[in-house]
Structure 1
Amino acid sequence: MANRKTSRTNPDSVDKYSVLLPTYNERENLPLIVWLLVKYFGESGYNYEIIVIDDGSPDGTLEVGEQLQKIYGEDKILLRPRAKKLGLGTAYIHGIKHATGNFIFIMDADLSHHPKFIPEFIQKQKEGDYDLVSGTRYRGNGGVYGWDLRRKLISRGANFLTQVLLRPGASDVTGSFRLYRKEVLERLMERCVSKGYVFQMEIIVRARQLGYSVGEVPISFVDRVYGESKLGGNEIVSFAKGLLTFFATT
């Protein structure tokens, strides 16, 4: 077990939550996900900011973000775009640099992750004083909706292989709806070498290696309504290669 050096939040202080939203061609989804985030954070009374990291979307996603910024305010909607697609892991690194919260949520912008679960993540973190809380589709009342059999088998297979090879200590290693202490995510990102979808798996394994505590919240994952999935054959091959490489080097 690694020597943990994370600072504990003063219970008398007010926590702030930074939501990192990497986007690419999410023009239709961005207004809905932002509205839902504002709704559930507002109802819960938590302090928050939403950081949109657009990777040069040609569909006008950034322009939609600019309109949302006018509606909700520049203190709540931060636009931190990049010129082109550079990978999911680097998008988070970019977003962390601009985050002012002491906790960070990462989630998809395509409505597959419903913001209604955010209060449950926060409650879980506070109950167990966890360094990381991960959404799981494979425990409790969690589930996946809208996927065909092929995608379900790919996801289940990826999780099964990761469990067998790396024993990550979490039931859903390919999910991307998570809550981190900011300083924990920064340290994990320093150690992660993956840039694509393998990143989600690697960061959980790194957390276990470093002795960070991990809690889980069952979530419902719903396939996107608008736009096309970013998961293709290249990503699947990349995940398999990354998993085997990670197994051989840890």
Structure 2
Amino acid sequence: MRMVEDNHDKFSILLPTYNERENLPIIVWLIISYMEKRGYSFEIIVIDDGSPDGTQEAARQLERIYGSEKIVLRPRERKLGLGTAYVHGIKHATGNYIVIMDADLSHHPKFIPQFIEKQRSRDFDVVSGTRYAEGGGVFGWDFKRKLISRGANFLSQLLLRPGASDLTGSFRLYKKEVLEKLVASCVSKGYVFQMEMIIRARQHGFTVGEVPITFVDRLYGESKLGGSEIFQFVKSLLYLFATT
């Protein structure tokens, strides 16, 4: 049975984009399908970092189709990084819960209702999607990419003991005020930002729930993980180890 106050919950789904013209219409359609089926109140905030491929034009078309209450466009002039994209998105979010996810179809919107149910089950401050719990997994990665991801997660667990099984994932649900506090206390950028968010959540004493998810490698466009990201990750991991 649903609690009455659940009817007042609104979910702001932040979609940071860069060159996601092919993926954006599909991910938006899927989000709307799953959220409307459950009767959730929601908005999708598209934060595009000046994509040269026409992502913003695709977003404007989606706004015309679904309406400006459902699709909220908050673009930026150039690529400024994930952490600042969330700060930008939070400023414009009208929901009391915020979902962050990738726009490249690697995160399936079918998991969002599971995140919401998990959050409500014990009033979690954060619900994190995990690829490493039973029922979760990764599809479409070669051995090298899986090894890097597993290795990064193993190292993080060893050094930081975060109390969560998937530190580097970027599919999560936060209470809005919790996310604001975490973003304000984070110093990392890029790939490491997600990891620091969970570490800071533990520091602040916030509760973290987990939902097993399947991660599918992007269908269109190129992956943004390269050698410099891996170097940055190790450097930032050691910084977090030394300071938390």
Q: Structure 1 length normalisation: TM-score?
A: 0.95
Deviation track 1:40-69 (CA, whole Å, cap 9, x = no partner) reads 001011000000000000000000000000
Amino acid corresponding to residue 23 of structure 1 in structure 2: T
**1:233 Cα shift?**
1.0
2: CA distance between counterparts of 1:123 and 1:13? Answer: 13
Q: State the SS of the aligned residue for 2:31.
A: helix
For residues 122-133 of structure 1, the aligned pairs below 5 Å read 122-133=116-127
1:39 aligned to 27, 33, 37, which one? 33
Matched, 1:145 2:131: no
Q: CA RMSD in A?
A: 1.1
Q: State the 4+ residue runs in structure 1 displaced beyond 2 angstroms.
A: 9-13
Q: Secondary structure at the match of 1:197?
A: helix
Specify which of 99, 105, 125 is matched with residue 105 of structure 1: 99
Q: 1:61 aligns with which of 55, 58, 62?
A: 55
Identify which of 130, 136, 154 aligns with 1:160: 154
How far off is 1:11 after superposition?
2.9
**Corresponding residue of 1:79:** 73
Correspondence for 1:192: 186
1:206 to 194, 200, 205: 200
Change (3 A) 1:225 1:13: closer
Unaligned segments of structure 2, at least 5 residues: none
Q: Distance in 1 between matches of 2:136 and 2:75?
A: 32
Q: Compared with structure 1, are the counterparts of its residues 209 and 75 closer, same or farther at alpha carbon in structure 2 (3 Å cutoff)? A: same
In structure 2, C-alpha distance between the alignment counterparts of 1:246 and 1:132, rounded to whole Å: 20
> Could you say what secondary structure the match of 2:22 adopts?
coil
Consecutive unaligned residues of structure 1, counting only runs of 5 or more, are 1-8
One-letter code aligned to 1:194: S
Report deviation, 1:162: 0.6
- The one-letter code sitting in structure 1 at the alignment partner of 2:54 is G
Query: Cα offset for 1:12?
Result: 5.9
**1:160-181 per-position Cα deviation (integer Å, ceiling 9, x unaligned):** 0110101011000000000000
TM-score (norm 2): 0.97
- Aligned-pair identity in percent equals 73
Partner residue in 1 for 2:238: 244
